[in-house]
Amino acid sequence: MRSFLSGALLALLASTKTSAYPATAISPGAVCTGTFSAISASDFVSNLHPGWNLGNTLDAIPDEGSWNNVPVVASTFDTVKSAGFKTWLQRVSDVVDMIVARGFYAIVNVHHDSWAWADVTQSGANLTMIEERFYRLWYQIGTKLACKSSLVAFESINEPPCNTEADAAEINKLNRIFLQAINDAGGFNPERVVTLVGGGEDSIKTSEWFVAPSGFPNPYAIQFHYYSPYDFIFSAWGKTIWGSDDDKSALQSDFQLLRDNFTDVPLILGEYDASPTNTEPAARWKYVDFLVKTAASFDISCVLWDNGLDHLDRTAGTWRDPNSISMITNSNESTTNSLPGSTEDGSATTQSSSAYIFHQYGTDVTEQSLPFVFNSNTLSSISDSTGSKLSLGTDYSVSGENIIFTAAYLSKHLSSTTAPGIVASLTLQFSGGDSSPVIQIVQWTPPTLSSTSVAASSVSGSDLSIPITWGGLPTVAAVKALTESGIYLFDDWTVYLGPIQQARATYSSHYNWDASHVIITSSAISSVISAGESSVFTFEFYPRDNGVVNGVNFTLTV
């Protein structure tokens, strides 16, 4: 559900009316012809890795196609299969058929219902109504899909909100109602693998409060989701770096708690996503490498969330970040991936990244040394986008764990007056591992905005799009927001963070960008009006230098 859209429900339901829960004598339920090749939950889970979510599609409201994706076409699954994935989450009979026809595993869930009518945390929630409706929903889905093969599993409910132990107990009950409903629906359902969920599909709440229902025949796995750390995944508070020992041990410990609580239950990480739309590549590759390998070490199978804007360009049939996909689809616990070095220390005042060779407009071209984490491999080759290989010695050299590009080579692409932008892409191959990072040569200069201020009151009520002339990468790294008296416009506790995180806003909630604009959201404009003081938004870009040079200010006046 890594979506910034608020949501409702899976467009599925057959019109059949069934009796209210608890069911009495609906049996025998569906009767199937053919046979069902029963599979254990642990085989199902280990076979489905690596998996892929068809996100923001069948869960879109009001209809498939209403959000950022066109309706599902079969060729999308061919692209996903050729990348090496083996599963999907979601939807209904015809898409399930498209999926299993290609030999994939499929997991069908009810998705945004958890926000719409099935939220057990709402004060005054009518739990009886939720339970009855949930039973009827799963009875209908169970009937419709009763005769699908053992490649198809069901998941009770996506990310049910949960704040307390009592909420968690109700979610445990919903898991039981789900199992009752699909078993009553008959067919092959009693033998079907199911994935059960704990509160929010959160690893901690699940490890604390999940209890599996007893008395049902289905093989089951536990599914959880992981979008942590929140600030890195969602670009909050200027957290554009990842990879410190603390970052790693937090992820390790979250997975460990869950595994240690459920030592003999198959575990599926059913959603995770460090998106190329908003995370810095060197940080993202470190995260993907560590997450995939840590999951493998705990025998956890992974299913990538992809909302259509993240990984697969479903129209072009191409992956936006092939290096992440390569590690996700190939790496295991013992793989040694070579990765670009980058800033990991939260107290840093600038951010470096060897995913780029940055050169500033107006300065001389000199040799550049990129630190890498070789991880016991050697560099085999560097090739440009035409496929020609760079010459070791003339174009680059390797010294320790640094790749040094000569001034002569860089001068083939750059001069002090080259127009800002991405001027070349280089693919690095190593002797081992699954990582072949594509690094970019970027000419940069601070971007310019078409205007530098506006009265907040004149633009309140909607998002403000400000035309920008980009000065390098067409991406915003972070935004600092201060009132004219120096008060943090958002989250004053960020004063305790490092210099490139203090007073920083949150992507999507407060700011955004498109191909030719930076955007201040209506909610951020409201914050300025409430603060009652003119406020400066400093947009920062890569390479991040704390807004000193590579930033641009926009003032909302009050």
Of 522, 550, 51, the closest CA to residue 302 belongs to 51
Does residue 132 touch ligand NAG according to CB under 6 A? yes
Q: How far is the CB of 541 from ligand NAG (least distance, A)?
A: 10
* Phi/psi of residue 105, nearest 5 degrees: -85, 150
Alpha-carbon distance of 159 to 67, in angstroms, equals 19
Does residue 547 touch ligand NAG according to CB under 6 A? yes
Among 30, 116, 147, 204, binds ligand NAG (CB under 6 A): 204
Alpha-carbon distance of 98 to 543, in angstroms, equals 44
Structure tokens at 450: 């078409």
Angle of the 281-297 helix axis to the 245-261 helix axis, nearest 10: 30
SS3 78: helix
Stretch that binds ligand NAG, among 40-48, 202-210, 223-231, 283-291 (CB under 6 A): 202-210
Q: How far is the CB of 257 from ligand NAG (least distance, A)?
A: 4
Among 14, 73, 101, 129, binds ligand NAG (CB under 6 A): 129
Q: Indicate the pairing of strand 535-540 with strand 551-557.
A: antiparallel
Closest CB to ligand NAG among residues 120, 146: 120
Closest CB to ligand NAG among residues 276, 498: 498
Residues 262-321 that bind ligand NAG (CB under 6 A): none
Among 122, 452, 530, 553, binds ligand NAG (CB under 6 A): 553
Does residue 536 touch ligand NAG according to CB under 6 A? yes
Q: How far is the CB of 131 from ligand NAG (least distance, A)?
A: 8
Among 29, 187, 420, 551, binds ligand NAG (CB under 6 A): 551
Stretch that binds ligand NAG, among 61-69, 204-212, 301-309, 507-515 (CB under 6 A): 204-212
Do residues 44 and 221 make contact, with C-beta atoms less than 8 angstroms apart? Answer: yes
Instruction: Annotate each residue in 317-356 with x if it binds ligand NAG (CB under 6 A) or - if it does not, as one string.
Output: ---------------xxxx---------------------
Q: Indicate the pairing of strand 318-319 with strand 312-313.
A: antiparallel
Side-chain half-sphere CA neighbours of 507 within 13 A? 24
* Phi/psi of residue 410, nearest 5 degrees: -60, -30
Alpha-carbon distance of 476 to 542, in angstroms, equals 8
* Phi/psi of residue 339, nearest 5 degrees: -135, 150
- Quote the DSSP letter at residue 19: P
Among 126, 318, 350, 453, binds ligand NAG (CB under 6 A): 126
Stretch that binds ligand NAG, among 223-231, 245-253, 269-277, 550-558 (CB under 6 A): 550-558
Count of CB atoms situated within 10 Å of the CB of 101: 11
Closest CB to ligand NAG among residues 63, 165: 165
Alpha-carbon distance of 532 to 31, in angstroms, equals 67
# binding residues, ligand NAG (CB under 6 A)? 20
Does residue 119 touch ligand NAG according to CB under 6 A? no
The footprint of ligand NAG (CB under 6 A) covers 126, 128-129, 132, 204, 207-208, 257, 260-261, 332-335, 536, 538, 547, 551-553
